[in-house]
């Protein structure tokens, strides 16, 4: 069993511009063989991630705090606390924080998140 403690995990900025705290990533926690990762992402007030896609990973976002807009492929829709979004691999996506406070979400990736698998898309 692998365990992490929230306060001991240092947040960092991902290639898409969000600040994440990797709560479980096989390259950091455990033996490196897990097929998924879990992170808490924060998008500051009034900002957005860069439009991007992942060639290998699919993701699930679960909104834990705040409200914003999600761009997923050709769709644009409102997201708020309690919403869950499936992001298939190779689908361009981004999330925008439209509120005055932080937009927070849990992000599960399989295979695990990698900067190398993140392709930014010019808008």
> What's the confidence (pLDDT) of residue 98?
95
Q: Is the pTM of this model over 0.85?
A: yes
- Residue 34: pLDDT above 80? no
- Residue 95: pLDDT above 70? yes
Considering only residues 9 and 109, tell me which one the structure prediction assigns the higher pLDDT: 109
- The residues spanned by each domain of the chain are 17-114
Considering only residues 107 and 114, tell me which one the structure prediction assigns the higher pLDDT: 107
Beta-bridge mates of residue 52: 93, 120
Beta-bridge mates of residue 53: 119
Residues 6 or more apart from 36 whose CB is under 8 A from it? 108, 109, 110, 111, 112
- Burial (CB < 10 A; 0-12, 13-18, 19+), residue 112, is buried
List the CATH code of the domain at 17-114.
2.60.120.10
């Amino acid at each position: 069993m692998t365990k992490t403690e929230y306060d001991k995990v240092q947040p960092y900025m991902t290639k898409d511009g969000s600040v994440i705290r990797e709560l479980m990533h096989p390259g950091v926690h455990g033996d490196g063989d897990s097929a998924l990762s879990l992170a808490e992402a924060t998008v500051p007030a009034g900002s957005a991630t860069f439009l991007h896609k992942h060639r290998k990973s699919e993701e699930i976002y679960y909104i834990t705090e705040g409200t914003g807009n999600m761009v997923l492929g050709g769709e644009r829709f409102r997201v708020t606390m309690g919403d869950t979004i499936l992001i298939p691999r190779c689908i361009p996506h981004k999330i925008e924080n439209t509120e005055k406070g932080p937009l927070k979400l849990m992000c599960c990736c399989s295979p695990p998140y990698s900067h190398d698998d993140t392709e930014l898309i010019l808008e």
